Amino acid sequence: MTAGKFYSNLAGMIKSTFILLLTAHFLGDVLFNSYRLALLKRSSAFLLQAIGVACHSGIHVFFAGTLLFLGNRLWIRGALLVFVLHFAIDLIRSNVEKGRFGHGRIHVRRSEFFAWVLGKAENSAKMRCSNLRPWFLINMADQGAHVAGLLGVASLV
């Protein structure tokens, strides 16, 4: 096998593993995330906050481990790396949000965001771009960190 073919195969494996991890991330963050768990992650008590972040990260571990297993990858290593990565990123994010918006609350709910996108926002003051800017920046930094981390995990498994 030539070096070029080796690196091409490696890049293909990393790409397919990354797609599996990205799918697991979507499932954990969008389809299987709850408002109550999101509030728990922003609790004023650190232990409750850590439990909320750990439960949320556990959901990601389940999906990442399952998809990596089905994709014939090193699923235990991948799932553990996803847990550590997701836990650290979400703990930082929830602390940033607590500092900016207060503990035990979410600045913009998913339903509020979609209502705003569709032009049906009920709280127009809250949904002004100047009020949404910090929320958007936090979300972009959070998701960027997750995508970068998942790419790193994909390269390791």
Cα–Cα distance, 11 to 17 (Å, whole number): 10
Cα–Cα distance, 64 to 62 (Å, whole number): 6
Confidence of residue 1 (pLDDT cuts 50, 70, 90): low
CA atoms within 13 A on the CB side of 43: 13
Nearest CA-CA partner of 40 in 123, 111, 97: 97
Lowest mean pLDDT among 35-44, 57-66, 69-78, 114-123: 114-123
At residue 67, the pLDDT reads 95
Q: Would you say 144 and 11 are in contact if contact means Cβ atoms under 8 Å apart? A: no
Lowest mean pLDDT among 47-51, 113-117, 136-140: 113-117
Confidence of residue 7 (pLDDT cuts 50, 70, 90): low
Q: Would you say 136 and 107 are in contact if contact means Cβ atoms under 8 Å apart? A: no
Of 41 and 131, more confident: 41
Q: Would you say 15 and 81 are in contact if contact means Cβ atoms under 8 Å apart? A: no
At residue 119, the pLDDT reads 82
Cβ atoms within 10 Å, residue 117: 10
Six token digits for residue 103? 């503990």
How far the first Cα of the chain sits from its last, in Å, is 21
Six token digits for residue 143? 């998701």
Q: Would you say 112 and 123 are in contact if contact means Cβ atoms under 8 Å apart? A: yes
Nearest CA-CA partner of 151 in 2, 31, 13, 27: 13
Decide if pLDDT at 117 tops 90: no
Task: Write down the mean pLDDT value for the chain.
Answer: 90
